[in-house]
Structure 1
Amino acid sequence: MKHPTTLKFIDAFAGCGGLSVGLMAAGCEGIFAIEKSPLAFATLKHNLINNGDFNFTWPKWLPPQAMTCEDLIATYDNKVGELAGQVDLIVGGPPCQGFSTAGKRNPADPRNKMTEQYLALVGLVKPRFIVIENVAGFNMKFENQENTEILMGNAKKKSYAEYIATRLKELGYEVSAGLINCADFGVPQNRQRFLMICERKDHQLETPNLFMKLKQSRLTFLEERGLPTDRPVSTKEAISDLEISGRELVPCEDSTAPGFKEAPYIQPAVPTKFQALMRKCAQGTAPNSRRLPRHKPETIKYFSLVQSICRPGFCLSIEERKKAGTRKHSTTVLHPGLPAPTITTLPDDIVHYSEPRILTVRESARLQSFPDWFSFQEKYTTGGKQRKQECPRYTQVGNAVPPLLSEAIGEVLLARLESLNESQKNLSSINYKKSKRKDKMDAIKP
């Protein structure tokens, strides 16, 4: 859907750029993005700063390099403040490890405090809209009262989402929020996320529930892209053209480490609707990041066993783990006819539906709805002490907001901005007519 209105946005905690890709696809204009990881920023820069089609406008005063929101505000607070009134939207997914139900959910986790930096940026720029995306656990209440008081004062046993909503309301925003499954918007993955969509209240018009507007836009969004409306996109629909069975393997062209293989990409004569959507704008070129893992023979044998005994689409049960001889809880074999489970930063959590291996970065990216023209950069994996500091390709993909969901959000906000602009025009016209009428009345008074 084409929109005559331009919506300008800043992406904070941008990662490799999933939110920005979707917003730009919807027709929004990116001003700049903030991301602290040099590895993730390298991917964002390659695709969204040095790319001719999808580019941030990027101000001359801001160096295009990795930094934190804290760095931005401390170094360029005057320049950022000058953007007030020129930015329609700030988006961001602050680091979620302190909220994730898979972790310890410590409210005093210093990563949670990065949301405070996000709020400081909001206070400087005062955008029309705000979008915060996070894990489902963002809206779960903390039970540790002592730690909660450290972070949120007297807001005992509140969820962090409730705390943030209160802060945003104090800044003058109407807040709408809720859980959404990315699979509802064509993403071939069951990924439950918490969304907070906010609008600044500086007009007399009634503010709609933008989260509900997003949910209501689902059918139209899917229909316009030729995606199924009565069921989710399946894993096989998403990645069948990336299978390697029967293909001669060749050296991987984009691996930073030697000795890895990949299968040459052969574009299908009749791609699925989802594959055609992901191939759009790829101009016939092969997607990158197809490097295959170097599994040992015993690993391949183990994955084959897991495929033979597990229920595809479900984590291994206690009985299945006993049969497989593993204590690992999170291993899931993909079901070809269903969406994938949540793509995480750990590649060995998911096994391919028909081949005894983990997924490639590109397969994971497809399940996140990254288009094939989007090229991931830097190292594929990391380990040891670096695991918590670095953001290699698998981590970039796992941490990203699915671009299709972001595109749907962008379309809803563009439509809302158009409505506001039209209402403002009508209001100005009414006020102008009232003024002219008053002038005439004043002119005929004795």
Structure 2
Amino acid sequence: MTTPNKPRLSCIDLFAGCGGLSLGLKEAGWSGLFAIERDPMAFETLSQNFLVPGAPYASFADWPAWLPKTNHDIVALLKNESVRKHLRSLRGAVTMIAGGPPCQGFSVGGRRDGADERNSLVYQMLDMVELVRPRVVLIENVEGIARRFVARPGEASTSVAESVIERLSDLGYTSIFDVLDASLFGVPQSRRRVVIVGIQDCPMSPADLKATFNEMLSKSAVAVRQHWGLHQTKNVTAKEAIADLTGGARVVCPDSTEFESAVYTKATSAYARAMRRGQKTGSIPDSHRFSKHGERIQALYNLAHQTQPPGRLSKAFLLENGTKKDKKVLIDASAVVSTITTHPDEFIHYAEPRNITVREMARLQSFPDNFHFYGRYTINGPRRKHDVARCSQVGNAVPPLMAEGLGLALRNLLDLLNAQSAAASPALPARQRPKVSAQEKIFSGIVAD
């Protein structure tokens, strides 16, 4: 969705994971400078899709020579004085720092722990903001980031979002936060996330900034749906999202030969056609590996299909049928799915007695099918906290369509602020004014003289 004659909008992606945020921002016309991701498997996915020769979403063309193209720990980087010097040298050259810091410590979907060391990583992001001083800061996270932890006796209770906005204010940013649902942008999922936006030297009050940004978001949601040929008001259902990944002939999974996969069937929805990106009916989707379910699990899933309404299965039903799992969701074919997590075994396919695959998770997150995933499929045990398998790469990602909407809204917001700044400056004689194309005027909302 890039637009001619626009100034280059550069972006640094922190806690980049497999690259969902980078992908959406690229579609919105942003140019990635570099991306920081600690986990080697997640970075391999990012590298194969953005960095290697022939990558389907080639980006980061100006990746700085001083930063090797490999996985990095942001804490270690910021302790390196040479790196800090290089980051300071980027002042004035970076439009935005964006990222979704690890959220497990304050996720309401897991064990919320104010002492979790991963909570502090959002402040490492702010340390980089202080060094680079971009025009825009974008932070995406779970709703728990805006909820206050229980204070110790004698201490004030505060949320991470509140402390982040206070720190950004100290750095000269006018900041707001809001809660968005990814389904607004055509993602077939109810995924509510807090978005924090900071604008450096912003002439607007926080209230005006929030109202203006919300207006930009509404317009960008329309633009994203138009871009991918989606209905303007109806949500994309689970069946529309993954039906062509269902019912195909079973085959050996190409990268896990002891497991089965299945071929594509015909794509019958606008969403599926948009996600296929040229993948042909009868070919094998990437990362579409089926779990090996025993007879007991298959019987449980068949019974759920026959007797239970779609949605989260009751604990009583699960206990009565021999499982101690306290969360199993029977997907409703006719609605958006609930928030995709890092656990594919939480979701039962709406038509088959099995868990959804990594590729089906990716579809429900709005990753296109030519975006391939790398590394192990799943990881159990204590390593889950440190290693990022394919299922976790998908579940942790910012949905690309949502990221595209955010990127478009921020582009248009900057256009508006730049136009207001130009209007407030002494007017140039007509023959000295820079030429602006009609297409650029339409895109930015500037009315022609």
Q: TM-score of the superposition, structure 1-length normalised? A: 0.88
Could you say which residue in structure 2 is the equivalent of 1:88?
Answer: 95
CA distance in 2, matches of 1:12, 1:386: 22
Q: CA deviation at 1:203?
A: 5.7
Counterpart Cα distance in 1 of 2:144 and 2:56: 38
Residue matched to 1:110:
117
| Distance verdict in 2 for CA 1:97–1:165, change over 3 Å | same
- In the TM superposition, what is the alpha-carbon distance from 1:316 to its structure 2 partner? 1.2
Paired residues of 2:217 and 2:406 also in contact (CA < 8 A): no
Equivalent in the alignment of 1:56: 60
Shift of 1:54: 2.8
Which residue is 1:301 aligned to? Answer: 299
Counterpart-to-counterpart distance in 2, 1:319 and 1:385: 28
User: SS of the residue aligned with 1:98?
Assistant: helix
Residue 252 of structure 2 is aligned to residue 248 of structure 1: no
- Residue 364 (1) aligns with residue 365 (2): no
Query: Which sits farther off after the overlay, 220-229 or 177-186?
Result: 220-229
Determine helix, strand or coil for the equivalent of 1:208.
helix
TM-score (norm 2): 0.87
**Residue deviations 1:60-106 (CA, integer Å, cap 9, x gap):** 11101111222222331111111111110111111111111123322
> Paired residue for 1:181?
181
1:199 aligns to what SS in structure 2? Answer: strand
Distance in 2 of aligned mates of 1:193 and 1:328: 26
Q: What is the CA distance between 1:281 and its match in structure 2?
A: 5.9
d(CA) in 1 for partners of 2:92 and 2:174? 18
Give, in whole Å, the separation in 1 of the partners of 2:191 and 2:89: 37
Segment drifting more, 73-82 vs 89-98: 73-82
Alpha-carbon separation, structure 1, partners of 2:203 and 2:175: 15
Q: Equivalent of 2:71, from 62, 66, 69?
A: 66
Residues 1:385 and 1:108: Cα distance change in structure 2 (over 3 Å): closer
CA contact (8 A) 1:189 1:339 kept: yes
In the alignment, the residues of structure 1 paired with residue 142 and residue 35 of structure 2 have an alpha-carbon distance, to the nearest angstrom, of 21
Q: 1:303-355, CA deviations, whole angstroms, 9 ceiling, x for partnerless residues?
A: 1112222211x211244335434343210110000011111111110000010
Contact 1:287 1:375 in 2 (8 A): no
Listed one character per residue, the Cα deviations across residues 248-283 of structure 1 (whole Å, up to 9, x for unaligned) are 32221123xx411111234x2x53111122123658
> Do structure 1's residue 159 and structure 2's residue 159 form an aligned pair?
yes
User: Equivalent residue of 2:312, what SS?
Assistant: coil
Aligned partner of residue 253 in structure 1, secondary structure:
coil
Pick from 264, 268, 273 the counterpart of residue 271 of structure 1. 268
Q: Which has the larger radius of gyration?
A: 1
Query: How many residue pairs were aligned?
Result: 420
Partner of 2:344: 347
- Matched to 1:347, the amino acid is P
Per the alignment, do residues 114 and 300 of structure 1 end up closer, same or farther by CA in structure 2, a change over 3 Å counting? same
Instruction: Give the aligned partner of residue 144 of structure 1.
Output: 151
Deviations along 1:190-220, one digit per CA (max 9) or x if unpaired, are 1111111121116689963254134422334
Contact 1:139 1:160 in 2 (8 A): yes
> Corresponding residue for 2:287?
289
- Tell me, what secondary structure is at the counterpart of 1:145? coil
Post-superposition offset of 1:429: 5.5
How far off its partner does 1:133 sit?
0.5
State the shift of 1:428 in Å.
5.2
Cα distance in structure 2, aligned partners of 1:186 and 1:140: 27
| Cα distance in 2, alignment partners of residues 376 and 102 from structure 1 | 24
Q: Distance in 2 between matches of 1:385 and 1:300?
A: 27
| More displaced stretch, 337-346 vs 270-279 | 270-279
- Residue 403 (structure 1) aligns with: 400
Equivalent position SS for 1:340: coil
Amino acid of the structure 2 residue aligned with 1:72:
L
Whichever residue aligns with residue 344 of structure 1, its letter is T
* Partners of 2:331 and 2:348 within 8 A in 1: yes
Deviations 1:177-198 (A, max 9, x none): 1111111111101111111112
Q: 1:193 to 1:397 in 2, by over 3 A?
A: same
Q: Is the 8 A contact 1:142 1:159 kept in 2?
A: yes
